[in-house]
Amino acid sequence: MSTTVLMLSVDEAHLLRHSLPAAAAQADVVVIDNACADGTAALAREHGAEVVALTPRRSYAAALNAGIAAGGGDAVLLLNADCVLEPGFVAAARARLDADPGLGSVAPKLLRAAGVGPGRQLGAIDAAGMTVDRRRKNGLVGHGAPVAAYREGGAAFGADGAAALYRRATLDACALGNEVLDEDLALWASDADLAWRAQLQGWRCAYEPLAVARHVRTYSPSTRAGVAEAQRRLQFRNRYLMWWKNETAAGLTRDLPHIALYEVLALGHVLLRERHLLRAYADAARGLPGALRRRRDVRARRVAQRPPFGLQPEA
C-alpha cells in the first residue's frame, strides 16, 4: 500500500521550495515539469522526487494526466505547487481512505494563505471539500469560515484540486480514454467534473479535518475580481461543459427550477456587469460536440442515478 504525491510545476520552483519538502517528508513525490525554464527539475531531484518532463507545455489537465499515467501508488494525492502540507497530512488522509473501501477520494481541510512561506496564514478556511449544488454551480465548502470551523469529518461531494487524495482504482475507473481529467476543460472545474463522474460511478468522497494544508488560492469567490477576463470566461464556459457531460434525466427533472432561475440571474449579471462573458456562451457551444462524445462514455459507466448535489460536511 503506497501513496504517490503528484505535483505540477509551471515555472513554479519558487513555490516548490516550500511545498515539495513538506510533501517529500510524508510520501513518494512525482514532479511534473511542464516545460519549465526554471530550476524545477533540479529541485525535484534534490528532494528525491521522480521527474516527469513534458515538452512542449501542456494544459493543467493534460499535464496531470501524463503524471497520473507515469506515477505509481494505489493512492494518488494531486497537489498544487502552492499548497503546503502540514505534518501528518498524508497519514490522516490515507487512514480515512483505507477505512472505507467505498471511498474513492478524501477532501482535506485547506487553510487560506497569502504565500507558501511560514507565517503567511490568513486565519480562515480555504476549502473543506467541494460541492456542485442544485444549480449545477461548483464551489468551495467553507471558504472564508473561521479556522476552527468544520472540525468534524463527513460526507463531501468531492475534493478541491489543490489537494485531493484519490484511490488509484477510482482514477482508472473515471478515465475517458487516456484522460482522467477532461482535457477539453484545460483547467477550471476539471476537479469538480472528476468528482461528479466519480459520484456517478458510485464512488464516495469524505472530508477529513485532520489532513490540513495551507493553500494560496488563485480563483475563488474572494479573489475572482482580480482574475484575468480570459480565465473567468474559461471558468464560465467549463461549468456548462461539465454539466452537459454529467447530467442525468432524473437530476434535471428534480432540479430544473433551481437551474433555470440561476441561468436567468447569471445572464442578467453578464449583461449588466461582465459583458465579456457573453463570449463564453459561444465558447461553450463550440465545446458541446466534445462534451456530448464524453457524455456517451459517462452514461455507459454510470452506476449512481442521483448524485447528492450540495452534499458537504457540517460546519
pLDDT of residue 311: 72
Judgement on whether residues 83 and 111 belong to the same structural domain of the protein = yes
Judgement on whether residues 258 and 180 belong to the same structural domain of the protein = no
Please state the φ and ψ torsions of residue 238, each to the nearest 5 degrees: -65, -30
Residue 231 and residue 292: Cα distance in Å, rounded?
23
CATH number, position 77: 3.90.550.10
Judgement on whether residues 189 and 114 belong to the same structural domain of the protein = yes
Residue 129 and residue 185: Cα distance in Å, rounded?
20
Residue 190 and residue 161: Cα distance in Å, rounded?
8
Q: Is residue 315 part of a domain?
A: no
Q: Is residue 310 part of a domain?
A: no
- Whether residue 111 contacts residue 210, with contact meaning beta carbons closer than 8 Å, is answered with no
Please state the φ and ψ torsions of residue 155, each to the nearest 5 degrees: -70, 145
Residue type for position 138: N
The DSSP annotation for 9-38 comes to ESS-HHHHHHHHHHHHTTSEEEEEEES-SS
Strand locations in 38-87 (E): 50-54, 75-80, 83-85
pLDDT of residue 19: 97
End residue of a domain, out of 175, 192, 215: 215
How many domains are contained in the chain? 2
Mind listing the pLDDT tens digit of every residue in the chain (315 residues)?
Answer: 799 999 999 999 999 999 999 999 999 999 999 999 999 999 999 999 999 999 999 999 999 999 999 988 999 999 999 999 999 999 999 999 999 999 999 999 999 999 998 889 899 999 999 999 999 999 999 999 999 999 999 999 999 999 999 999 999 999 988 899 999 999 899 999 999 999 999 999 999 999 999 999 987 777 777 889 999 999 999 999 999 999 999 899 999 999 999 999 999 999 999 999 999 999 999 999 999 999 999 988 888 766 777 777 777
Q: Is residue 12 part of a domain?
A: yes
End residue of a domain, out of 164, 183, 215: 215
pLDDT of residue 279: 97
Judgement on whether residues 113 and 241 belong to the same structural domain of the protein = no
Pairing type for strands 154-156 and 50-54 reads unpaired
> Is the Cα torsion angle 141, 143, 149, 153 positive or negative in sign?
positive
Give the domain range for residue 27. 3-215
pLDDT of residue 315: 73
- Whether residue 83 contacts residue 187, with contact meaning beta carbons closer than 8 Å, is answered with no
Judgement on whether residues 206 and 118 belong to the same structural domain of the protein = yes
Q: Is residue 308 part of a domain?
A: no
Judgement on whether residues 112 and 259 belong to the same structural domain of the protein = no
Residue 257 and residue 239: Cα distance in Å, rounded?
18
End residue of a domain, out of 215, 234, 259: 215
Query: 303: which 3 cell numbers?
Result: 452506476
Contacts of 103 (CB under 8 A, 6+ apart): 96, 97, 167, 203, 204, 205, 206
Polymer length of the chain:
315
